[in-house]
């Protein structure tokens, strides 16, 4: 099935919210990692989200080019073709894009979708994230509102963030952040609802923070407070009505307990970003192959090595299967097994 269209993507999110499950949104940097996600989702009977970050896009464009938008376009075009072979729906999304790179990442991608639509083609991406969390909330929303208006005209869903996710992702560090900034307040959530709901008919996702930290941590290190999401949703519904409740996104979930993850699903989380854990799942079998077959991978002591062991297809296949397996685990953790809308 092709990449989900706007109507299907909206149905996916609506169903997840209604049934209290979430879609894994997995960062990819190459065709192999994108294929791994498609494989894992399909084997789980789950729809899902493939996403590209600024760093992932730059990497995918090649070390001589380092064009984040070009790399994202290349991956998206592959997924549009490859997804035709799977009996699930997949949405394409771009991850954290801060204000200083909007004009070199998200804006060119929206322009590409506008060009495609004018030519009678489907959207390139289903949704984009603007991460204005480092800005004062007013400035964050002053950028987000007109961006949402432009996205809405093109049947694109916008994701925003208020509050700061700690740790580091793609070289962007949240250093020196006051502890209270790791937790989005009810007042902030009310203001987000007021400003973004003014764009009538637009769909958006909201990454509210509740102690989230990017990166890898041992279980118990990250102290989440999912009740913040519950309190914020209740405040929004009380002020603006039930229909104003958020479609929430969970960032920085590595090291979180399954209990905490599933609690957030009951409060409106419909999308959970996964990157660190799938990066490790991809790299681990490659390391194992190299260590086990070092004398075949390397031309040791003047020998010729073993082409069957240093052929990249051998260990990249292992990486793809391992990342697919981690994707299947994520689907299960998020209560998503056999939830696909695809009826083919």
The span from the CA of 229 to the CA of 287, in Å, is: 39
The span from the CA of 207 to the CA of 20, in Å, is: 17
Cβ–Cβ under 8 Å, residues 189 and 267: no
Cβ–Cβ under 8 Å, residues 50 and 28: yes
Q: What share of the chain is helix, strand, coil (3-state, %, to 5)?
A: 50, 15, 35
The span from the CA of 277 to the CA of 37, in Å, is: 13
- Please list the pLDDT of the chain residue by residue as tens digits (344 residues): 589 999 999 999 999 999 999 999 999 999 999 999 999 999 999 999 999 999 999 999 999 999 999 999 999 999 999 999 999 999 999 999 999 999 999 999 999 999 999 999 999 999 999 999 989 999 999 999 999 999 999 999 999 999 765 544 555 554 545 555 678 999 999 999 999 999 999 999 999 998 876 555 555 555 789 999 999 999 999 999 999 999 999 998 777 889 999 999 999 999 999 999 999 999 999 999 999 999 999 999 999 999 999 999 999 999 999 999 999 999 999 999 999 999 86
Cβ–Cβ under 8 Å, residues 15 and 270: no
Neighbouring C-beta atoms of residue 136, cutoff 10 Å: 9
Q: What is the pLDDT of residue 218?
A: 53
The span from the CA of 183 to the CA of 211, in Å, is: 6
Query: What residue ranges do the domains of the chain occupy?
Result: 6-287+323-333
Residues sharing a CB contact under 8 Å with residue 319, sequence separation 6 or more, in sequence order: 32, 33, 36, 282, 283, 285, 286
Q: What is the pLDDT of residue 285?
A: 98
Tokens of 283: 């790299």
The span from the CA of 256 to the CA of 337, in Å, is: 20
The span from the CA of 92 to the CA of 9, in Å, is: 10
Q: What is the pLDDT of residue 212?
A: 73
Q: What is the pLDDT of residue 220?
A: 52
The span from the CA of 325 to the CA of 320, in Å, is: 9
Return the DSSP state at 87.
S
Q: What is the pLDDT of residue 179?
A: 57
The CATH code belonging to domain 6-287+323-333 is 3.20.20.70
Residues annotated catalytic, as ranges:
95
């Amino acid at each position: 099935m092709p990449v989900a269209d706007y109507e299907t993507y909206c149905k996916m999110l609506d169903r997840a919210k209604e049934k209290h499950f979430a879609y894994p949104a997995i960062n990819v940097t190459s065709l192999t990692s994108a294929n791994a996600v498609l494989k894992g989702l399909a084997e789980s009977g789950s729809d899902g989200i493939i996403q590209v970050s600024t760093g992932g896009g730059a990497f995918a464009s090649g070390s001589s080019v380092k064009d984040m938008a070009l790399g994202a376009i290349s991956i998206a075009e592959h997924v549009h073709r490859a997804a035709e072979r799977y009996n699930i729906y997949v949405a394409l999304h771009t991850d954290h894009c801060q204000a200083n790179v909007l004009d070199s990442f998200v804006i060119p991608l929206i322009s590409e979708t506008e060009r495609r639509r004018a030519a009678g083609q489907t959207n390139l991406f289903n949704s984009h994230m603007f991460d204005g969390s480092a800005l004062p909330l007013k400035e964050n929303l002053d950028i987000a509102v007109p961006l949402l208006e432009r996205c809405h005209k093109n049947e694109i869903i916008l994701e925003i963030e208020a509050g700061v996710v700690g740790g580091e992702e793609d070289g962007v560090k949240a250093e020196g952040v006051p502890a209270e900034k790791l937790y989005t307040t009810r007042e902030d959530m009310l203001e987000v609802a007021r400003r973004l709901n003014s764009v009538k008919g637009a769909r958006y996702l909201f990454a509210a923070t509740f102690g989230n930290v990017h990166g890898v941590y041992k279980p118990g290190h990250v102290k989440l407070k999912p009740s913040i999401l519950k309190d914020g949703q209740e405040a929004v519904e009380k002020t603006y009505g039930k229909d104003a409740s958020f479609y929430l996104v969970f960032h920085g979930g590595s090291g979180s307990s399954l209990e905490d993850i599933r609690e957030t699903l009951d409060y409106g989380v419909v999308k959970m970003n996964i990157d660190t854990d799938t990066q490790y799942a991809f790299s681990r079998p490659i390391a194992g192959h190299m260590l086990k077959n070092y004398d075949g991978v390397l031309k040791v002591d003047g020998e010729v090595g073993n082409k069957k062991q240093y052929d990249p297809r051998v260990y990249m296949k292992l990486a793809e299967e391992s990342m697919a397996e981690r994707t299947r685990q994520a689907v299960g953790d998020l209560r998503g097994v056999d939830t696909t809308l695809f009826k083919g």
